Structure formats: C-alpha cells, structure tokens
C-alpha cells in the first residue's frame, strides 16, 4: 500500500504556522476535492486541529504527491510553501500506520491521553468520506486506528488521571463526596478557569449552581450561560450555607471568604462537608478556613501537585500504550500484507484451475469408456498436482508481504504464470 502521511504539529512547528495552515470544515471540503482532482493521489484525508495539520494519502509516488498536496494546501491558505517545507515531516508505509495509530490513541498529543483528538480524527474521516476521497486503503487504516484507540483507553489508564487544574478540582470533589449528582456549586468570581471547573462539575451532575460576582451584570451573564442563579455578593453567607462546593477566583488582593464567615454557617449545614476550590492568586479563601470541622480547602498549588502527579502517571501508562500500539501495528501489517497479495493468489489459483479443468476435459475426451471411479481419480490427482504447484509461490508471496517487500514477488509471479494475459493458450 503506497501510503504516506505528511504534516506539521506542535512537535515541530510554531503555533503561528499551524494557525496559518489550519483549515475549517467548509474550506476543507474544497481543498480535498481540489487535491483529488489533480490526480496525484488515489485517496486522501486531511486532519486539521489547533495542534496539527496532516495529510494522509495513498499515491503511486508519495514524494511527488506530498509536495503537490502541500503546495495546493499552502496556496489555498495563502502561505509560503517554502516556510512549510523546512518543518514538514513525512512517514510512509509502516511508519505511517504507526503514526496514525499513535495520533488516534492520543500518544502524539501535546497532552497525553486527551480525549478530543479521537473525535477530531473521526470527524476528518467522515468529512473525507463525504468528499469521496476515502478508498479501501485509508478506510482499512482508520477503521483499525479507531479500534486501537479504543483498546488503548480500555486496557490502559492513560486517560484516567486529570491533567488540568479544572479536572483536578473535579477529581478531588469526587473523593470528598460519595457522588457529585445533586451537589450545589457556588462560583465566587466569574473567571474563565472557575467557569471551566464549574462546567466539569455540572457535567458530573452537580446542581444547582449559583454565581456571586462584584459586578452584578457579569454574575447574571455567567449564571445564564450555566443555567444557574446569580447571587448578590453581600449574600455570600446565605449561599455558603446552601451549597457543597465553592469555586473561588475573584482576583481580589485579599481573601474574600474569611474563617469567621464560614464558621457561622457551619451549624446550618448539619454536618454536610463544604469543599473550597481556591484557584485565585492571591488566594480568595483565608488559610485558616480548612481548620474548621468538615471543611476542605484546596488552593492552586494543591491542585497543581495533583496535576503533576497525574501527568507522571499518564507518562507511565503511555509506555504500556506504546507497547500495545506496536503489537497492533505488527498485526495490522501482517493483515495488510495478506490483503495486498490475496488478489494475486486468487488469480494464480484461478489460472491453474482453468488449465487443470481444460486438461482433464481433453484427457477424458480420449477415454470415452472411463468409469466414474477413473474420472474421480483424474480429478483428485490433477487437483493435488495444482495444490502442490501452488504451495511454493503462495508461501513465498505471503512471506514477502509480511516482510514488507511483496512487490518484486508479485511481479515475478505475474510474469511466470502469465496472469496478465488471456487464459486460452
């Protein structure tokens, strides 16, 4: 399979160049169809994300096709192709298969194990299918890549550990509460990080949600975005008594949640734990708050420690995932090699079978008195001869395909047995 992948990613190209090359869905359809119309590729798929722009393609001359496709892509995006050529990487054949599997399994991502890339690859595949630029080779490759990605996620824990502050906050909340369904959340401040943490909590079933901010209009705006309720800033004690999780991120120079305030609401909580996620710098929650019974407080440094530990854990799991990918690449290449030689094996068997049938028919025409037993014996003997003749070339074809070099043997078998010629000699 003359397969290649070429592209740029966060590993070798600055974000400015990646932004210039990135293609949105509507434009991507046009680019794909234009590339296919040039005739330099038989199949093509373009993966365009914030961290990579890659072309996966099947072509008779991969080097020529790679240059042509990226000239075309650069022309569409108004980018100087010379600036891209210096950083462009290319993988062919087995290395291209390995790269596709690693990308889909999030082993080549900026953040190991992040889940978004698999969906992005699936979207790119679906779009290429709709543009009719997916053929049997890329269909086989990406169908298997999706299966490998799923296997990596189910057989390793690479995606299990939170590697962002907002996810780490949710992970800690899960440890404190038996479950997050029905747990009330209060946002104190309306920053982006606190909003993201709140969204993750809501995704886990936390509800209801309240927003307190010194700017009332911003509190109302964020509350509407999160299907929550805005709370006046001076009513914080009332809100603290009602919720289970508080996310604080105001940007205030001094703590806005004091130990004295929290201690006054503890009796009304009747033993329910109160969890503070303080992601403000300087901190929003007074440092003595977590000395109160049933109160848990984590600041940005605590969360970063969790994130750093989880990143190390993901790196350990990545070793297991890489070994799994290597096994899957080896199995895939064996299957792919068999697929590549099967048409020749079928043609060879058909060719020899046609010769066998013809010769048996001519022989029996000279033996009009042959008994059914004799006829059966001739059929059996001729079939056995054909099978013995087929054994060596079929074995060699399969061995060469699994070694990654089937083409010379395919050509030799075609030449020796006249598979490209008619069958009536």
Q: How far apart are CA 312 and CA 420, in angstroms?
A: 57
Q: How far apart are CA 23 and CA 53, in angstroms?
A: 8
Q: How far apart are CA 214 and CA 221, in angstroms?
A: 13
Question: Residue 6: is it exposed, middle or buried by C-beta count within 10 angstroms (0-12/13-18/19+)?
Answer: buried
Asked if residues 275 and 177 have their Cβ atoms less than 8 Å apart, the reply is yes
Asked if residues 387 and 425 have their Cβ atoms less than 8 Å apart, the reply is no
Residues 6+ apart with CB under 8 A from 328: 101, 144, 148, 151
Residue 242, by phi and psi: left (phi above 0), alpha (psi -120 to 50) or beta?
A: alpha
- List residues bridging with 56 in a β-sheet: 5, 45
Active site residue 297: no
- List residues bridging with 415 in a β-sheet: none
Q: How far apart are CA 235 and CA 212, in angstroms?
A: 8
Tell the residue number behind the tokens 């190209």, with chain if given: 13
Asked if residues 307 and 163 have their Cβ atoms less than 8 Å apart, the reply is yes
Please identify which of the residues 50, 74, 131, 297 carries the catalytic annotation.
50
CA dihedral 418, 423, 424, 425 (to 10 degrees): 10
Tokens describing residue 273: 């734990």
Q: CA of 234: how far to CAs of 238, 243, 245, 256, in Å?
A: 9, 16, 18, 11
Task: Specify the DSSP element, H or E, that contains 9.
Answer: strand 3-9
Q: How far apart are CA 141 and CA 298, in angstroms?
A: 45
- Name the packing angle between helices 116-130 and 136-155 (round to 10°): 160
Asked if residues 6 and 35 have their Cβ atoms less than 8 Å apart, the reply is no
- Catalytic residue IDs: 50
């Amino acid at each position: 399979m003359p397969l290649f992948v070429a592209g740029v990613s966060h590993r070798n190209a600055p974000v400015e160049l990646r932004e210039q090359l990135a293609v949105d869905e509507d434009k991507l359809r046009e680019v794909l169809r234009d590339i296919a119309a040039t005739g330099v590729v038989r199949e093509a798929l373009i993966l365009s994300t914030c961290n990579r722009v890659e072309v996966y393609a099947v072509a008779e001359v991969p080097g020529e096709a790679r240059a042509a496709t990226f000239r075309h892509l650069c022309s569409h995006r108004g980018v100087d192709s010379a600036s891209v050529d210096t950083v462009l990487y290319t993988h062919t054949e087995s290395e291209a298969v390995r790269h596709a599997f690693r990308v889909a399994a999030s082993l080549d991502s900026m953040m190991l194990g992040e889940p978004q890339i698999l969906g992005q690859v699936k979207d790119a595949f679906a779009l290429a299918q709709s543009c009719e630029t997916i053929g049997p080779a890329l269909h086989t490759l990406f169908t298997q890549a999706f299966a490998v990605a799923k296997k990596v996620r189910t057989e390793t824990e690479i995606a299990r550990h939170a590697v962002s502050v907002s996810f780490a906050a949710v992970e800690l909340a899960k440890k404190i509460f038996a479950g997050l369904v029905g747990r009330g959340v209060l946002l104190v401040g309306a920053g982006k990080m606190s909003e993201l943490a709140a969204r993750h909590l809501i995704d886990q079933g936390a509800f209801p949600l309240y927003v307190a901010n010194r700017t009332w209009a911003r509190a109302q705006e964020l509350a509407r975005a999160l299907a929550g309720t805005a709370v006046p800033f001076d009513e914080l004690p009332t809100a603290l008594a009602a919720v289970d999780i508080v996310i604080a991120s105001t940007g205030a120079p001094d703590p806005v949640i004091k130990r004295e305030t929290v201690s006054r609401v503890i009796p009304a909580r009747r033993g329910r734990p109160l969890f503070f996620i303080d992601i403000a710098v300087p901190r929003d929650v007074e440092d003595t708050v977590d000395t109160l019974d049933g109160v848990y407080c984590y600041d940005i440094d605590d969360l970063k420690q969790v994130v750093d530990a989880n990143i190390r854990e993901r790196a350990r799991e990545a070793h297991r995932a890489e070994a799994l990918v290597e096994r899957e690449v080896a199995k895939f290449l064996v299957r792919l090699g068999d697929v590549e030689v099967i048409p020749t094996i079928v043609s060879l068997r058909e060719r020899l079978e046609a010769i066998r049938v013809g010769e048996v028919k001519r022989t029996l025409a000279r033996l009009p008195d042959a008994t059914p037993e004799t006829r059966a014996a001739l059929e059996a003997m001729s079939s056995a001869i054909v099978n013995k003749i087929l054994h060596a070339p079929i074995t060699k074809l399969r061995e060469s395909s699994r070694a990654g070099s089937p083409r010379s043997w395919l050509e030799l078998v075609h030449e020796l047995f006249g598979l490209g010629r008619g069958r009536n000699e």
